[in-house]
Amino acid sequence: MSKTNYAKLFTLRKDGRYQGSYVDSHGKRCYVYDRDPEQLWHTINEKKKPTRATFKEMADGWESEHRDSIKDRTWKNYKPHVDDLAQNYGKIEVDFISASDIDADLKRLKAKQYSKTIVNTRKVVWTGILNYALANDKIKFNPALSVKLPKGLKAGKRKAPDDDVVNIIMSEADDMKFGFIPFFLLCTGMRRTEALSTMKKNVDMKKWEIYIPEAKTDAGVRAVPLIEPLRDPLQAWVKAHPGPWLFPYVSYNGRTGAHMTDSNWETAWAAYCDRHGWVDEDGKPTIGAHNLRHGTATLLYDSGVDVYTAQHILGHANVSTTMEIYTELREEKEKRNINKFSSKMSKRMSKSLK
């Protein structure tokens, strides 16, 4: 077996060193020099070996590259999963992550009774990080793409605020700094994103309707009635806040700014909930705008509004969504009535035995 002539593999420079090159992981050509051609050959081959990255490195890279393009409210949902995955899998080399690892992780969340929405978010984060690793040549394929959500996941339920919360919201209808906004959402059933993107020109004070021109679905484009208790506070709000937006950002000192962003909302909502004690042990709000929307659905049901009218007001794409809420509310009401009946009969039974 002939011995390799390493000298012929490289260019001999005038200074007596051999020159070689390789292309790094970023596509950049790098030059290497050595007086020993065999050593130069080994150096280049070592450099050409693909570097193995940890899952934590890929998670950090994915966050750095995509954070600016992800909306704050979406990132708020992603961040706990990113941190948890980095803690559990961070030190593992990313090309060792398998579909079975991801499947086991999702099933672990199911065992902890997390909702389908949360487990799906977990899978989205897995997919995003591993797609980043794939794009950077750290893995040959994305194992998350072959993993399906575990069967039997429970849909997350949004609960309406209790009567005490509703009473406080209604009592602050004339709060021109922020308190009017929760009252407005409760009276209209509008989504937070719909309310924040609404302009004053979309409010018809003669027909007492508010027109929502932009929505995710055709059903979302609708005219929402402005009920009588909302009208006077709404007129006062519009007068107190100049500008084209119905809900501009209002700072703590009462100054009105430009369009209220998601970040502005999160700050104002957190302060609002903290003021009323609607926070958990970590100081995070225990209710959100979605709870108010469910509260509207509950008030519509309790007022005897038919399911199709409720569907239009809430902007549900399918009446089955509204029907599901109404069915749940009816079942809860039946349980309360049965409990009342049981309690009353128990009292009569105890009296009759005396």
Domain 163-332 class in CATH: mainly alpha
* Token pair recorded at residue 88: 């559990």
**Which candidate, 121, 115, 111, places its Cα nearest to that of 85?**
121
pLDDT tens string 305-342: 898 998 998 888 888 888 888 888 888 888 888 888 88
pTM for the complete prediction? Answer: 0.59
Check: CB of residue 232 under 8 Å from CB of residue 182. no
Task: Give the span between the Cα atoms of 250 and 252, in whole angstroms.
Answer: 7
Supply φ then ψ for residue 136, to 5 degrees: -105, 20
- Say how far residue 294 (Cα) sits from the centre of its chain: 18
Task: Give the span between the Cα atoms of 137 and 135, in whole angstroms.
Answer: 6
For the chain, give the percent of residues with pLDDT over 90.
40
pLDDT tens string 226-257: 999 999 999 999 998 888 889 987 654 555 55
CB atoms within 10 A of CB 165: 20
**Buried b / exposed e along 285-304 (16+ C-beta atoms within 10 A):** bebebebbbbbbbbbbbeee
55-146 matches 163-332 in fold: no
Task: Give the span between the Cα atoms of 60 and 80, in whole angstroms.
Answer: 14
Torsion of CA 344, 350, 352, 354, to 10 degrees: -150
pLDDT tens string 125-143: 999 999 999 998 889 999 9
The fold of the 55-146 domain, in CATH, is DNA polymerase; domain 1 (1.10.150)
| Residue 194: pLDDT over 70 | yes
* Token pair recorded at residue 57: 């490195």
Ordered by start, the domain boundaries in the chain are: 17-48, 55-146, 163-332
Torsion of CA 131, 136, 138, 139, to 10 degrees: 40
Looking at residue 193, its pLDDT comes to 87
